[in-house]
A and B are shown apart, each in its own frame.
Chain A
Amino acid sequence: MTNTMGLILSGWKKPALKDLSYNRSVSAVPFGGKYRAIDFILSNMVNSGIKNVGVLTQYSFRSLMDHLGSGKEWDLDRRYDGLFIFPPSMSDDESGWDRGSADAMYNNLSFLKRSNEDYVVISQGNGIFKMQMGEMLRYHLDTDADITLAYRQMYDYTKEELSRLGIIRINEDNRVIDLQEKPLNPQSDLASIGIYILKRTLLIALLEECIAHGDYDFVRDIMIKKLDKLSIYGYEFKGYWRNISSVRNYYRCSMEVLSDPEIREELFVRNGKIYTKVKDEAPAKYNEEAEVTNSIVADGCFIEGTVENSVLFRGVTIAKGAVVRNSIVMQGSVIEQDAVLECGILDKNVVLTRGKYLKGDSDYPVVVSKNSVV
């Protein structure tokens, strides 16, 4: 796929993520013990041979820039091409922030024009999935489509969750005949997973036309409006896929990774590695009292208590007598002696002090924001 470049739209605020996306872009939400959401799409691109990737940021991008750095961990620190991060820029008319996905891409049109790959993969930055993008490109070439959109049959999503996605209907040739963004009444369970492939020159033309009309959203103003004029085909993605868009599905996705070895295998072992920023932590240390079952534990953890069905990020301390159940504890947090945490999500550097008892519900996990002392 050396003839393909990548564009990751990392930006938009998700109010449903509450404190987890306070001060960080949704693509920068920590996931799986050591990763951030964007690691998945970025590693998918790199594992598929893409060597030129632009990340368009918008909301609270500091943590994302810190995480991506020069792109070294993804082998994208290159003399030619590599990783480019585009923070929002004040445009000529001083309108300020990007108004939508098409606007964001248009504001960085020179990057698209300067690149010389024939094809572009556009993706959201918050999907947790493992995808070989070469297959999708081949499909795009075989169908001779103008735009190929990846979709997945969301048999494992509720109707309510479906209504937060882009729902498509396709004909027998897999041509997309209907696309509705966040419909109140989803007409099918086929949802776009926010990945598109098209020719670079076509994208440039579509963006220019879209902005000239005063529009600014890629899906609403280009894909939906041009459904009849362009041939848009659906490529079915059959693997595991979740998008981090609410506390509830963030929690659910983390728990699914714990409970299903197949999902762990698919995400972390098969078809390429997931790369992330390294931290130089020592291996995790277990003391005699440690009771850890069905849990993911990262480097630098120090465990003297009980941990069940939980994800511990790097450098977490579980003191003696402490109990952590069905929870996610992010980097550097401390569960002090005899404290109990159930169905909780602790952001980075949280301290649950001695003897405290904090309990959420699996449908409504309690979220504690960064640097809090409870």
Chain B
Amino acid sequence: MVRKEIIALLLAGGQGSRLGVLTKKSAKPAVLFGGKYRIIDFSLSNCANSGIDTVGVLTQYQPLKLNNHIGIGKPWDMDRMNGGVTILSPFMKEDSGEWYKGTANAISQNIDYVDKMSPKYVIILSGDHIYKMDYLDMLAFHVKNNAEATISVIDVPYEEASRYGIMSTDEYGRIYEFQEKPANPKSTLASMGVYIFTWEILREYLIRDEQDETSDHDFGKDIIPAMLSDGRRMFAYRFSGYWKDVGTIQAFWESNMDLVKRVPEFNLYDPEWKIYTPNPVKPPHYVASTGSVKTSVVAEGCMIYGRVRNSVLFPGVTVEKDALIENSIVMSNSYIGEGSVLDHCILGEGVVVGKNARIGFGDDIPNEHKPGIYNSGITVVGERAEIPEGIVIGKNVMIDMHAGIEDFCGEVVPSGSSIYKGGECE
């Protein structure tokens, strides 16, 4: 086997619980994004475009969709004889078997995989972010500095800094202090969760960390601080450009909406940096004489007989006559019945909306069951739910996956309420 200079390890096991019903049956990296993609496509395409052809994808939470999506890595040209994409799920060992307990533990459990490739460097990625980055530029920076660890950072506004791991660096970019989610941040350089390590060094720290029973086995909490206190050569690689964590319903909605702007900050159409994903087998979309589309992104296989404004439509969506979709994200193969109106909604895959329904209308009051998740005025409908005709649904409403017509009581679902599959009417 040819020795690899660098391989990538992509952490894709996160649940992304703040995405609510969107991640009920899929890991966050598998959530659909941008009219055609899944969130993980951005990191995987970065690898492909950077020329990294060996990627281990670490999965844990609800991996079915992710496994299906990645397959043998064909869309990213990673169906390789030597290297390519490998799904690394937790596994049984001789005397025990366990889940990944933290980001560092997930890598520790796969030391054999990395050793087999025997790379000089590893890049650790998370499959949660929307961005374009040439990882080889970062590697060049790592090599030039003779670094043992390089952490990619982005300048964030001071008031948001306490949500991130914050680096303090000297004039050469060398990190002398690291604070994980500090109340009083000493800098505004936030870790993007992209790390390059010299493998030999990381390997040593991972093994040491495994033996420490008090450790959380987390990169941010344990590995980075341990290396720093040992005075290892650690550098911050400054990234500028579009980088979004789509961890909440609002952030997810906003970054999708970023794509419909006249000149989107994030360019999906760059021929030099394509985003790859499995292509659906669908004909081009069709806009009928009664249809009209403005300021929107529309994928193949859509049939549009109604109006679409400020929205993102995934493949195979049907919008019937006199329907109006505004400020919404409609995922694959959903059906919007005649005369229905949607505003500020996220519809999962295969949702069916009956005729003349109105979704997203009412007062902006947070969801009564999960106010921490549904609070930005956006109503979220889980995949394959069926919405009865003529109903009026408010804001911040959560409709469960597979909810059926029988799960709705009455003509109105007030803002902030939830409809569960098999839920009973009072």
Contact = CB atoms under 8 A, between A and B. Distances in A.
Interface of A: 32-34, 264, 268-269, 273-275, 278-280, 282-300, 302, 311-314
B136 interface: no
Given A33-B283, A268-B283, A302-B269, A284 B289 contact: no
A136 B260 CA distance: 48
Contacts of B215: none
Interface stretch (B20-28, B116-124, B199-207, B294-302): B294-302
A33 B286 CA distance: 10
Interface centre among B75, B292, B313 (most CB of A within 10 A): B292
B299 A286 contact: no
Contacts of A298: 284-285, 300
Contact of A292 (B259, B292, B312): B292
B268 interface: yes
B285 A294 contact: no
Given A280-B279, A288-B262, A294 B288 contact: yes
B40 interface: no
Given A280-B276, A283-B298, A284-B297, A291 B292 contact: yes
Contacts of B35: 282-283
Given A282-B275, A297-B298, A33 B292 contact: no
B294 A287 contact: yes
For the complex of A and B, the 10 pairs showing the least CB-CB separation, nearest first, are A33-B284, A283-B35, A282-B268, A298-B284, A283-B299, A278-B279, A268-B283, A294-B289, A286-B293, A292-B287
B291 interface: yes
Interface centre among A34, A278, A286, A289 (most CB of B within 10 A): A286
A187 to B, nearest CB: 38
A34 B283 contact: yes
B297 A287 contact: no
Given A34-B300, A297-B285, 20 more contacts: A32-B283, A34-B284, A268-B283, A274-B281, A280-B274, A280-B276, A282-B275, A283-B298, A283-B299, A283-B312, A284-B298, A287-B295, A288-B262, A288-B295, A290-B294, A299-B284, A299-B299, A302-B269, A312-B284, A313-B284
A290 B293 CA distance: 7
A293 B288 contact: yes
B142 interface: no
A324 to B, nearest CB: 13
8 contacts: A273-B282, A280-B274, A282-B297, A285-B297, A286-B296, A287-B295, A297-B298, A302-B269
A227 B286 CA distance: 46
Contacts of B260: 285
A223 B292 CA distance: 52
Nearest to B274: A280
Interface residues of B, number: 36
Contacts of A314: 284
Given A282-B35, A283-B300, A285-B297, A32 B75 contact: no
Contacts of B277: 280
Given A282-B36, A300-B269, A287 B287 contact: no
Contacts of B269: 282, 285, 300, 302
A201 to B, nearest CB: 36
B297 A296 contact: no
A39 to B, nearest CB: 11
A368 B260 CA distance: 32
Interface string B395-412: 000000000000000000
Interface centre among B35, B279, B313 (most CB of A within 10 A): B279
A293 B298 CA distance: 14
Contacts of B262: 287-288
Contacts of A300: 269
A74 to B, nearest CB: 10
Contacts of B282: 273
Contacts of A278: 279
Contacts of B288: 293-294
Contacts of B34: 282-283
Given A283-B299, A291-B292, A275 B284 contact: no
Contacts of A302: 269
Interface in B237-295: 259-260, 262, 268-269, 274-277, 279, 281-289, 291-295
Interface in B163-190: none
B287 A294 contact: yes
A217 B262 CA distance: 57
Contacts of B259: 285
A283 B282 CA distance: 12
A32 B294 contact: no
A84 B259 CA distance: 42
Contacts of A264: 283, 286
B36 A273 contact: no
A277 to B, nearest CB: 10
A296 B284 contact: yes
Contacts of B296: 285-286
Contacts of A275: 281
Nearest to A304: B262
A294 to B, nearest CB: 4
Nearest to B314: A283
Contacts of A292: 287, 291-293
Contacts of B300: 34, 283, 298-299
B164 to A, nearest CB: 29
Contacts of B274: 280
Contacts of B313: 283
Contacts of A312: 284
Nearest to A258: B286
Nearest to A289: B294
A258 to B, nearest CB: 8
Nearest to A72: B74
A273 B281 contact: yes
Contacts of A268: 283
A279 to B, nearest CB: 8
Nearest to B308: A286
B294 A296 contact: no
A314 B36 CA distance: 15
Contacts of A269: 283
A292 B296 CA distance: 12
Nearest to A269: B283
Contacts of B279: 278-280
A279 B284 CA distance: 12
B301 to A, nearest CB: 9
B109 to A, nearest CB: 34
Interface centre among A274, A285, A292, A313 (most CB of B within 10 A): A285
B405 to A, nearest CB: 25
A293 B292 contact: yes
Nearest to B268: A282
